[in-house]
Structure 1
């Protein structure tokens, strides 16, 4: 099983346990990005995580938005970008840009 399949299986298992779950997927990258398009992060309402969309503070921001998406039921497209000069400060060590789609799982 690939990493993506593992994350989806984990998300399915959490849903079967009665947890609310959101799935975040990297949909676009530009320049240097720590994770490629297609990378995923599953998040539960209780704070469990599986996978990764970037690491650093971006991961925390995505998890926070994922919890909001679970509450509202409305997907969001997040856009992160940073100059090379500030990259280390915010957790994107390579600079670059990425878009992450966050959706609730039903």
Structure 2
């Protein structure tokens, strides 16, 4: 459990540090999982306006799509809820074939 708390602190610390450097920053958080899912609820990913990232919301299978949405959220300031699941055609496009569902909330920081 301590490792998870430390990882979360690193993500939030990185977000604060990047923001202090003047970067546009977004935070993505897993809010719901169902069935087989590579990361638990609460897992986070921080992204800057150039697509640099730290953390993980999926172990890689949907990260590219989440990063694209995070960069867009930095640009337009609008939060978004992303749904990925095996019954969703988009899930196959991004490689989520693990048999589960993942919901990720993305919001601009600051």
Task: Give the TM-score normalised by the residue count of structure 1.
Answer: 0.89
Q: Does 1:44 align with 2:48?
A: yes
Per the TM alignment, residue 92 of structure 1 is displaced from its structure 2 partner at its CA by 2.8
Runs of 4+ in 1 over 6 A off after TM superposition: none
2:60 corresponding residue in structure 1: 56
Matches for 1:95-106 after TM superposition, within 5 Å: 95-106=99-110
C-alpha contact 1:56 1:92 (8 A) present in aligned 2: no
Question: 5+ residue gaps in structure 1?
Answer: none
Structure 2 unaligned residues grouped into runs of 5+:
none
Match of 2:85 in 1: 81
- Contact preservation (8 Å) 2:11, 2:55: yes
Match of 2:10 in 1: 6
What count of residue pairs does the alignment treat as equivalent?
Answer: 103
Contact 2:30 2:103 in 1 (8 A): yes
The root-mean-square deviation of aligned C-alpha atoms, in Å, is 1.8
Show the counterpart of 2:26: 22
| TM-score of the pair, normalised by structure 2 | 0.86
